[in-house]
Structure 1
Amino acid sequence: MDILLIAVLAIAAYLIGSICSAVWIGKAYYGVDVRQHGSGNSGATNTFRVLGKKPGAVVMLLDIFKGWTATSLAGFLVIFNAIEAEQLIIFQLIFGAFGVLGHIFPVYERFKGGKGVATLLGMMLAIEPLVALLCIAIFVVVLFTSKYVSLGSIIAALAFPLLLLLPRFHPENPILIIFGFLLFAVVVLTHRKNINRLLTGEESKANITLGRKR
């Protein structure tokens, strides 16, 4: 096992996750730091809220892509014979987690980032694409029925490990199920303020029909 290569790729995964597309796009094209508006997070949801649908969609796609890219770095370990093929899933999870941590605590922006949901989705797309697509469908259904982005994110995150428990999707390595529940816990932790507002009826509903807002 090549420890140096693993360390280099883990750092690369974190740096990729740290790319603050919401902050950089907001400042470069709109003269707005999204962290100074809305929820104060540098994620896709707040970009939708502050800048509108088009920049929000771009940020979401970029955040998903960086999660997918960080996770996919594990493939280089197999290519360079640094690990055995059966160990791939473990390092996909490790590198994906570094990417998500980079999004939540980005080194480029003083460790003030987003909640990691889109980056987490990219991670899951790299590992279990079919289950991840089902989670996207669940998120969309919850969003359109409740208008709560936070609720959709939380339920979709929980759906991932629960779907893996089904015989149709059950992975050979149970570590993915365990990791799925841990990541759900991370989503709950990063959404704890939203959960409190949901319980008190103070959470803002998404207006998915509105365009750009400043």
Structure 2
Amino acid sequence: MWYRLISLLIGYGFGLFQTAIVIGKIQGFDIRKEGSGNAGTTNMLRTKGAKDALLTLIGDFMKAVCAVLIVQAVFAHRAPQMLVLLKMYAGVGAVLGHDFPFYLHFKGGKGVATTAGVIAAISPLAGILCIVVFFALFFPLHLVSVCSLSAYSFFFLQVLVLGAIGRFHMTVPYVIETDVLAAVLTGLCFWQHRSNLRRLMRGEEKKVYLHRSLNEEVQKGQR
């Protein structure tokens, strides 16, 4: 139990680093007062452009990778029989820290880039496949919410399959617990995107492009 809690806290500590807010402070703006007010990659791309969005993506991605790798280093010899499970706890903690930072009144981002870091750190192949799913949908649709939720769902399916075929090298109870954590992450993602889902059902979800000028044109056209 203590190993799980320690892993969760390590992840939460790393998740508290809000990349978009730090970039804003350096450049003299508050991303929470721009666009949708979300402190994440999509809002940064829509309002500030690809460069700042990429920096946000890298920062949010790497904090999860660092959390998972630290847990791996700490517990690789102490608890090898449940290592993937502990790394998943670190990942859950990182996403919770990103989504619900205590020092920002528990209002952070939606955790997509952070979860991408979790996936890549636990299974690089799974991370690559999720990226393929994301961009395979992004370029024809330009709906980040649809792409993110699809990639999340694919991640959950991969965890189920990898656990079932023994790739995690854990006993069944640990595999099931890992599946539950993956389901929690996926459910949290859908919950964080609930407003996007409502807009999608109404046909009002805004499209996002890699060029800031296109985003500005779309926003003007929707006013």
**Which category of TM-score, normalised to the shorter sequence, fits these structures?**
0.7 to 0.9
Check conservation: 1:20, 1:108, Cα contact below 8 A.
Answer: no
Secondary structure of the 1:74 match is helix
Aligned CA-pair RMSD: 2.5
Deviations 1:40-92 (A, max 9, x none): 1111111111211001000101100001111222123335x5x3211111111
Which of 68, 71, 74 in structure 1 is aligned with 2:68?
71
Check conservation: 1:35, 1:42, Cα contact below 8 A.
Answer: yes
Residue 98 (1) aligns with residue 93 (2): yes
Cα 1:12–1:199 change in 2 (3 A) is same
Check conservation: 1:71, 1:126, Cα contact below 8 A.
Answer: yes
Quote the residue 1:85 is aligned against.
Answer: 80
Cα 1:25–1:88 change in 2 (3 A) is same
Check conservation: 2:11, 2:89, Cα contact below 8 A.
Answer: no
Q: Distance in 2 between matches of 1:117 and 1:123?
A: 10
Letter in 2 for 1:18: L
Q: TM-score scaled to structure 2, two decimals? A: 0.84
Aligned residues: 209
* Sequence identity (%): 33
Quote the residue 2:146 is aligned against.
Answer: 151
Which of 15, 25, 28 in structure 1 is aligned with 2:26?
28
Residue 14 (1) aligns with residue 48 (2): no
Cα 1:136–1:112 change in 2 (3 A) is same
Residue 43 (1) aligns with residue 40 (2): yes
| Gapped regions of structure 1 (runs ≥ 5) | none
More helix by share: 2
Quote the residue 2:126 is aligned against.
Answer: 131
Cα 1:116–1:168 change in 2 (3 A) is closer
| Gapped regions of structure 2 (runs ≥ 5) | 217-223
Letter in 2 for 1:60: L
Q: How much has 1:207 moved relative to structure 2?
A: 2.0
Check conservation: 2:99, 2:108, Cα contact below 8 A.
Answer: yes
Residue 59 (1) aligns with residue 56 (2): yes
Quote the residue 1:193 is aligned against.
Answer: 195
Higher mean alpha-carbon deviation, 66-75 vs 53-62, is at 66-75
Secondary structure of the 2:110 match is coil
Check conservation: 1:50, 1:212, Cα contact below 8 A.
Answer: no
Letter in 2 for 1:181: A
Residue 119 (1) aligns with residue 114 (2): yes
Q: TM-score scaled to structure 1, two decimals? A: 0.87
Check conservation: 2:14, 2:67, Cα contact below 8 A.
Answer: yes
Secondary structure of the 1:205 match is coil
